[in-house]
Amino acid sequence: MGRLGVRLAMAAVGLTLLAGYLAAAYLGYLGLYWLWTNRPDLSTLVAIVVGVGIVSAYLSYRLGTSQLLAALETNRLPRSRAPGLHRRVDELAARMDVDRPDLFLTRAHAPNAVAIGGAERGALVLDRSLFRLLQPAELEAIIAHELAHLERNDGLLLAVVQGLSRTVVGLVTVALVPAILALSGLARGSAWLRGRPFDRSGPFARLRRLVLSAPMLLVVATTLLVRARSRRREFAADDRAASVTGNPEALARALKKIERAQEPAWPLAPLSSHRESESRIERWLSTHPSTDERIERLAEQAESREQQRERRREGNEGPTVIPIE
């Protein structure tokens, strides 16, 4: 086959691809048009979208609890093996608005504690190394921090936010399907017509990448929002733990010890949520704020508590009375 024959064959392939993609895009457009013309009123539509997002998030949250416990390879910690620890968890839960969680042990790659679930039927997973690393008051502070997450239902709220964001991203992606198919056909068809079937630098290909970036930008935006809220809830859990235990210094010491134990021993270690970083992008994507910042806030709380105690002691002493003869 001569060069002209090859070009004609490539042109035929390009036209076939273009026709196929445009037909699929048109069918997608007809489907979306039918859905739009038969849509319920705006309030009902919003209620349906929000309801579907919340239900799917709740189901994934409930199923994810058991899946996470299985993934962590946990073992239930009976009261007979650690009566003192169980008794202290009972006391902390009684002082907080949370049901007493089930206790589990795991053997992770680094010392950590994880709260799973919510204020009702929650679970607390402790890495075995915490018992060697932390003093009793420090371990108590870490447990109070995790109970604060359960008390605030942070896991459920996070699942709902993620579920709603996934629903919105999914709807945007579906709405863009006809445009994506049409641009894909134009990009691939024009590349074959030009005799360069693997060329992805044409204007239609660039426009297609631009359209595809819209859902990705939504994913990035929702991820940043979720991570920002996650960092704020860590501060709130620190404050609650310091308030319940009355010992912010113990929590600060525990955080520092855990951070030191989690420092990667090799340069290609994965990004840790607790690792200090000078990269702004890594800080934005981190689920936890800087440990130094958390420790600084706890130190300020400890200083404030000490000043309040000093003022109370001075007030209890009363004025000095000099007897008059």
Per-residue pLDDT reduced to its tens digit, 202-235: 888 889 888 888 888 888 887 787 778 788 889 9
State how far the Cα of 233 lies from the Cα of 81, in Å rounded to an integer. Answer: 32
What size, in residues, is the chain?
A: 325
Q: Which stretches of 72-202 are DSSP H helices?
A: 83-95, 129-133, 136-151, 154-175, 177-193
Would you say residue 35 lies in a domain? yes
Q: How confident is residue 251, by pLDDT bands cut at 50, 70 and 90?
A: very high
First to last CA, the chain: 130
Kindly state the DSSP code that residue 319 receives in the 8-state scheme. Answer: P
Residue recorded with tokens 């002209």: 4
Would you say residue 85 lies in a domain? no
Would you say residue 246 lies in a domain? yes
State how far the Cα of 151 lies from the Cα of 146, in Å rounded to an integer. Answer: 9
pLDDT over 80 (residue 112): yes
State how far the Cα of 47 lies from the Cα of 95, in Å rounded to an integer. Answer: 38
Would you say residue 111 lies in a domain? no
Would you say residue 231 lies in a domain? yes
pLDDT of residue 267: 41
pTM above 0.75, yes or no: no
Strand order in the sheet with 123-127: 75-76, 102-106, 123-127, 113-116
Would you say residue 106 lies in a domain? no
For residue range 279-309, list pLDDT tens digits in order: 555 565 566 788 889 999 999 988 888 777 7
**Residue 3: domain span:** 1-62+146-261+275-314
Q: Is 123 exposed, middle or buried (0-12, 13-18, 19+ CB in 10 A)?
A: buried
Q: What is the mean pLDDT of residues 167-178?
A: 86
282-296 burial: b if 16+ Cβ within 10 Å, else e: eeeebbbbbbeebbe
Would you say residue 270 lies in a domain? no
Report angle CA 116, 302, 314 to the nearest 5 degrees.
Answer: 140
CA distances from 247 to 4, 140, 244 (A): 84, 10, 8
pLDDT of residue 266: 38
Would you say residue 305 lies in a domain? yes
What's the domain count of the chain? 1
How many CB atoms lie under 10 A from the CB of residue 35?
A: 11
